[in-house]
Amino acid sequence: MRPVILTLGALTLAALLIVLVPMATSHDPVAVCMDAPGDLPDDGVAGWQGEQLENAAIIVRTASEQGFGTDGKVLGVMAAMGESSLHNIDYGDWETSGFTNPDGSRTSSIGLFQQQEWWGSVETRMDPAASAALFYGRLAGLAGWQQMAPSHAINRVQINTDPDHYARFEDDATAIVDALSGPCPA
C-alpha cells in the first residue's frame, strides 16, 4: 500500500509543478512604482522595454502631477508610441518621410511627442517631462476629451492627419500604465 501513496503524492506534486511553474515565470509584469522603472522585467511590457519604459514612466508621472487619471495617462503613452515609439528623437517627419505642413513648409517635429517649433523651444520639446507637460496642457484644454475615442482625442491635440493613427497603441499603452501603477515606497 505504501508505494501507491508515494505514487499518488508524486503525481500530485508533478501536477502542482505543471500549474505553478508557468505562473511563476509568467511575463505579465507585477505593477511597479513609476519612479522605479528599472524594476520592470528585462523583457519589457507588451514588447516595449528599456528606454521606452523609462520614457513612459516620465509621461505617466507628468500626467499624475497634472491631475490626470488612468485615462489621461494612457492617452499620453499612446501619443508618444504613435509619434516616436517612445524614443526621444531629435528628428521627425520631414527627415524620415518628407512630410510638410499644410502650408508646404518643412515640419520641425522632435522629441517623444514629435512636437513642432510652435509647441516650444528645442530644449523643452527634447525634455521628456516638459514635452509631456505640453501635451497634457493642450489635452486639459480640449473640452470633452474624456468622451472622445482615445485616438481622436490625441489627434485633436497632436493634429495628426489620421485621427485613428493612435488606436493601435491603446492595448499596449494600457498594459504599460497598469505596469507602472504599483505603490511607491514612502
| pTM listed for this prediction | 0.78
> Is residue 50 included in any domain, yes or no?
yes
> Is residue 11 included in any domain, yes or no?
no
Query: What is the C-alpha end-to-end distance of the chain, expressed in Å?
Result: 57
> Is residue 167 included in any domain, yes or no?
yes
Q: What is the pLDDT of residues 106-115, one digit of tens each?
A: 567 889 999 9
> Is residue 97 included in any domain, yes or no?
no
Residue 151 sits in which domain range? 29-87+129-179
> Is residue 66 included in any domain, yes or no?
yes
> Is residue 148 included in any domain, yes or no?
yes
Q: What is the pLDDT of residues 53-72, one digit of tens each?
A: 999 999 999 999 999 999 99
Report whether 71 contacts 36 (CB < 8 A): no
Phi (first) and psi of residue 102, to 5 degrees: -55, -30
Indicate the number of domains in the chain: 1
Q: What is the pLDDT of residues 113-160, one digit of tens each?
A: 999 888 999 899 999 999 999 999 999 999 999 999 999 999 999 988
> Is residue 105 included in any domain, yes or no?
no
> Is residue 7 included in any domain, yes or no?
no
